Each structure stands twice: as C-alpha cells, then as structure tokens.
Structure 1
Amino acid sequence: MGGFQGHFRLRNQMEIHHMELKMGRTLRLKGKIDDDATWFSINLGSGPGNLALHFNPRFEENVIVCNSQNGGSWEKEHRDDHMCFRPGMEIKLTVTFEEDEFQVKLPDGHQVKFPNRGRYSHLPYCCVKGGIRLTSFKLE
C-alpha cells in the first residue's frame, strides 16, 4: 500500500485518509467475507461524512445498495438485486473511478454503475468495514 498513509483498526474496519484515487484509476480489492457476515461496505469520498460511493451488499435483504453522502446526509439509494456475494466466500472486485460514474466489477463479472454525483476528481478517503477481511488492496 505504498504511496499513501492510512490508519487501520483491528476488527472489521480499515480506513485510509490520504489515498491517491483520481479519475481514470482503479481500486482492486481482494478479501474473504466472514462466515457470519450480514453486510459489508466500501466507502470512497473526501472524508467520513462526504462519500462519493457507498457500496453495501446486504445479505439479509439479498441486495447491493449504493449511495452517496453529502455533509453527513444520505442521498437517494440505488438498489441492485444482482447479489453474487455470500458469507464465507473469497472475493475479488474492482472499482473504476470515471468522471461521470463509478464502475464496480463484481466477482462474477457483473458490473454495478453508480453516478459520481458530487463530480469529484480526487478521492483521498477509503473505509472498508463490516463482515469482510481484506487480503489485498491495490490502486492502479
């Protein structure tokens, strides 16, 4: 994870505050979903209350929820019922940051697209939390 500083918490949350995610770049994540997970989330933005992308598979609802947050207030949810995640599985996914949208490529090849509502050009903040343990985190 060279090139940026982060602070890490031991159980079920990883935060990075000085990431260099710019338009046109891709974030590659690998991990293992906990056997007892009910959800996990990947959050990208300028800080904890200003999220350009909140990506949140919810196992009990069998849905992937995407949203954005502005000044601590959630905006309109986008719900995708293409749920290919399940507790206990190892996953690989990519998040590509484009000028007008985020493209999240799921482990089975399906793509979830979510608009770049805040017209961000640089995202220094990432938080991964919930029922997932990351084994790899790479910016390309």
Structure 2
Amino acid sequence: MKAKMRAISPVARNVALTIAPVRPCANLRQRTLMIDWDRLNELRRDIGEDDFLEVAELFVEELSEVMDRLAIAPATATQNDFHFLRGSAANLGFVEFASRCAAAEEALGKGQFIDFKALCEIYTESLAEAVGVLPTASQAA
C-alpha cells in the first residue's frame, strides 16, 4: 500500500503524515512526557486502520491552522482557541501540549500573560516526537 502524503502548515514545519505503526522508541521516558502512545493507539483502534491517517491528518491540519493564526496575531487568542487546541491535542495523545493549552485557557480567563512562543515550541516538539511513529511525521524539504 502506497502511503499518502499531505503538507500541513508553516508552524508544523511543513510536516506531512503517512501511515505507520505506533511503536515506542528506545527513549520511552522522554517520549511519554510529550505523547501518550496508549491514547494514540486507542484512537487508531476506535476509528480503524483505514480511516486513521485521514483523521490524524485532520487533527494536525486543524491544530496547525489555529497555531498559524495565533502566531500571526497572538493577542487575538481566546479561551475557545485554547479549548479547541487542548481537545484536539488530547485526541492525538499530545499530552504536554494539551496540558499547556489548558493552562493557557485558564490563564487567559484570569487575564494573565500567555507565553505563546513557548506554546509553539511545545507544539513543534510534539510533532517532532511523532516523527516515524504517529502516522509518520516527516520533514518536508
């Protein structure tokens, strides 16, 4: 079966997704901080192998669209933006990013500062952790 490739966005560093089995890496301790592989495998089982790539692509595409918009104008961020990001990230098992989005959602509600640059870094690191594992996230040239 030939893998389907699709570019995502600038914030995602032109990440593309292809289907691959989810396998923990040798440095499992580090990976589990960023991605909950059990959750990702649960998503794969729940929606089925055939639809997994499409659903994973959709989640990453929607996350990237919001992150791109907020990267251009972070002052326009709303609690709903962070709520959406948190939910989508949680579905993909991006636990660290989801946690940071929940904190940003709460902080914004209290009128507190949000370090959007750090949030972008966690998002990018989450995508990088998925390289070769999620459906495979590979750097586009």
TM-score of the pair, normalised by structure 2: 0.31
Q: Which has the higher helix share?
A: 2
Q: Return the structure number with greater strand share.
A: 1
Q: Which has the larger radius of gyration?
A: 2
TM-score (norm 1): 0.31
